[in-house]
Amino acid sequence: MDLTYPQWQEPLAAAILEFNSRQLDEKIHKAEEAIANRFKELEFAQDNRHERLALSDGLSILRDVKRDRLGTLEEKSEYLERFKRSGSRFVVEETSDEKLTVELDVDFDRRPAVNHFRTTSLHFTHHSSADYEYRIDGTSVFCRLIEDWHNEPGVPQYQNVRDGVVLESAIRGRNNAAWREWFHGFNVDDEINPVRKEVKWHEMEAVSWHGLKYFILAKKLPQPDALRYLRQELERLQTGAAAFFKEAEKYGLERDDNSRLIDRLRVAEGKTQPPDHEIQKLFASAENFRITDLEFSWERKLTRVLEKLLAE
């Protein structure tokens, strides 16, 4: 595996890949020592911010490894309770294949920064971090991307945005044979166009980051206003989804949240599946019930988020 900073990433990788508890403690110590030494070397260096961020993430990974593999049950339980009590962290996704967390009111370096949030994502082997600025207008939330970093084993660390500017020249410069081999089907315009939209102020929809908008408003609006809005949204989503399921019955469909054929729907017994244009017509009608088709798809997830925030 080609590492960007082998000086300290090699001992870090050795610790991550060690599952023998008797050897793990020693390897963690070596990795922590290598990271600490590198921090000292970079203390007065210039233009090494990307490595400092990687070093900070390395320490965070080591803390997780120690907790998960060396910690006692009591320590693990105490950590989970602290995590649950954290008032600024929103877990978007937490599966074996994907982890996405948002930390509110911190910047890229996890320093206090009002009206910013930091995302940390791990999708299989792809690790990324990003800093967004946000603002609230009534019950609407707007955001824009300020900076991001991406790490992938065997791929040079790269950045698409810095200081709110799309690094288009760097993105196009990566459009070479090696890059297309690393990322099969890579299209440079497909990479640039979404980023251009992200750096502009845009409204955060309810489904964005699985309900992050609700989390931000719950933390930032005056409590009575926040509770009123969250309760209204809960009612809107639940009544809208119920009405949509009722509409689906006219098409010979019934509720099935685990269906893979039609989103949350299956063909009712004794009925035939409607043609594609009829299904499209059905989902287009969702707005008649004051929800979007995406909100219908994510209604269970959004409802759980709202219920949790209302219970806090």
Residue 176: the pLDDT is 65
Please state, in angstroms and as integers, the Cα–Cα distance from residue 121 to each residue in 101, 103, 166, following that order: 7, 12, 20
Residue 71: the pLDDT is 64
CB 63 within 8 A of CB 81: no
pLDDT digits (tens), the chain, 312 positions: 567 888 988 888 888 888 777 788 888 888 888 888 888 788 766 667 778 778 877 887 887 777 667 665 555 454 444 444 446 889 998 887 788 999 998 887 777 888 999 999 988 777 889 999 999 999 999 999 999 998 877 677 889 999 999 999 988 887 665 555 555 556 778 889 999 999 999 999 999 999 999 999 999 999 999 999 999 999 999 999 999 999 999 999 999 999 988 999 999 999 999 999 999 999 999 999 999 999 999 999 999 999 999 998
Model pTM? Answer: 0.71
Residue 82: the pLDDT is 43
Q: Which two tokens stand for residue 145?
A: 């991307």
Residue 254: the pLDDT is 97
CA dihedral of residues 302, 261, 257, 250 (deg, nearest 10): 100
Residue 86: the pLDDT is 45
Give the residue carrying structure tokens 């490595």.
51
Of 294, 210, 303, 296, nearest to 246 (Cα)? 296
Cα–Cα dist 158/142, whole Å: 26
CB 169 within 8 A of CB 179: no
Residue 83: the pLDDT is 40
Q: What's the burial of 67, exposed, middle or buried (CB within 10 Å: 0-12/13-18/19+)?
A: middle
Q: Got the DSSP string for the chain?
A: ---SSHHHHHHHHHHHT---HHHHHHHHHHHHHHHHHHHHHTTT-SS-HHHHHHHHHHHHHHHHHHHHHTS-HHHHHHHHHHHHH-SSEEEEEESSSEEEEEEEEE-TTS-EEEEEEEEEEEETTEEEEEEEEEEEETTEEEEEEEEEEEEETTEEEE-SEETTEE-HHHHHHT-SHHHHHHSTT--HHHHHHHHHHHTS-EEPPTTGGGTHHHHHHHHHS-HHHHHHHHHHHHHHHHHHHHHHHHHHGGGTEEE-TT-TTBTTEEEPTT--PPPHHHHHHHHHGGGGGTS-HHHHHTHHHHHHHHHHHHH-
